[in-house]
Amino acid sequence: MSMQTFKLDIPQEKLPRHVAIIMDGNGRWAEQRNLPRFAGHKAGVETVRSVVQLSGELGIEALTLFAFSSENWRRPKKEVGLLMELFLTALEREVNKLHESGVKLRVIGDLSEFPKKLQKRIQDSMSMTAGNNGLILNIAANYGGKWDITQAVKKVVQQIQEGDLTVDQIDEQSIADNLALSDLSEPDLFIRTGGEQRISNFLIWQLAYSELYFTRVLWPDFDREEFATAVKSFASRQRRFGHTGNQILEMEQGKNA
Ligand code: IPE
Ligand code: IPE
Ligand code: MG
């Protein structure tokens, strides 16, 4: 099942260029099986692998995965520790394969809070894959949308203090330019597994106009077929960005004429 290739029958221009995912439901997946929560996190790594692979096959440009939020430090110490270890071993195990398949790996978030060994691993993995031009894979770790906007504002203020910018010159672009992922188009499709319908302080600015897709499927069960279903849902939507539906149809007809 997992190796089957999908013929999605979706024209390239209807595919999302950038997909952002809150990978939720690992703990409940494990609890349903009377396993420790950590077993769910481990199973979730397999899902990451298959979603990365399918994204590459579909020609999606960027995939951004929420792995650890700035609020997840509130979990029991043991779970946090095991998650750090899993992150480290997954990086060690996967980075060569990712590199071979041309993936450019980046980690966004406040990395200074992580164990030194993990920070080093992250830096090495990012430099190793920096020159690749396949799928851009962003892992959000100790990431929070509010943190992101705060650090962007700090950089803007610094530009003002240094005389490179005036207050009147601040516009949306000045903030956007200093956020994480500023070099990418904003996510077209946002997916959250696990049944909760909230953003949980993920990319709050960058998701302003994303299409939202929520599924009750728990992350370890989110297979290629489930991902394909989310992409198909996206392809069937009309994105209006404030225009009327008719304006969008006219623009599309103009393009196809
Ligand atoms: C998401 O799964 C993974 C992380 C937050 C690290 P959860 O661990 O939140 O799983 P549930 O929501 O408890 O089922
Ligand atoms: C959000 O999941 C963070 C990640 C998936 C990494 P949580 O499961 O921690 O979110 P809340 O706290 O239930 O909203
Ligand atoms: Mg959760």
Digit-coded pLDDT (tens) for 188-244:
999 999 999 999 999 999 999 999 999 999 999 999 999 999 999 999 999 999 999
Q: Taking the domains of the chain in order of start, what are their residue ranges?
A: 14-144+181-256
Percent of the chain topping pLDDT 90: 93
Q: Please give the structure tokens belonging to residue 165.
A: 């910018």
Residue carrying the six token digits 């989110």? 222
The closest-lying atom of ligand 2 relative to the alpha carbon of residue 75 is 9
Question: pLDDT band for position 153 (50/70/90)?
Answer: very high
Q: Whose CA is nearest to atom 6 of ligand 1?
A: 68
Ligand nearest to the CA of 42: 1
Cα–Cα–Cα angle for 14, 20, 21, rounded to 5 degrees = 120
How much is the pLDDT for 5?
55
Flag whether pLDDT at 147 surpasses 70.
Answer: yes
Task: Catalogue the active-site residues.
Answer: 24, 72
Residue 133 Cα to ligand 2 midpoint, Å, equals 30
Report pLDDT for 1: 44
Q: Nearest 5°: phi and psi at 36?
A: -65, 150
- The structure's pTM equals 0.96
Residue 85, burial from CB neighbour count under 10 angstroms (0-12, 13-18, 19+)? middle
Residue 3 has pLDDT above 60, yes or no: no
Residues of the chain with pLDDT > 70, as a percent, come to: 97
Is the distance from the beta carbon of residue 24 to the nearest atom of ligand 1 less than 6 Å?
yes
Stretch 155-172: mean pLDDT: 98
Q: Find the mean pLDDT for residues 60-64.
A: 98
pLDDT band at 8 (very low <50, low <70, confident <90, very high): confident
Range 14-144+181-256: architecture per CATH: 3-Layer(aba) Sandwich (3.40)
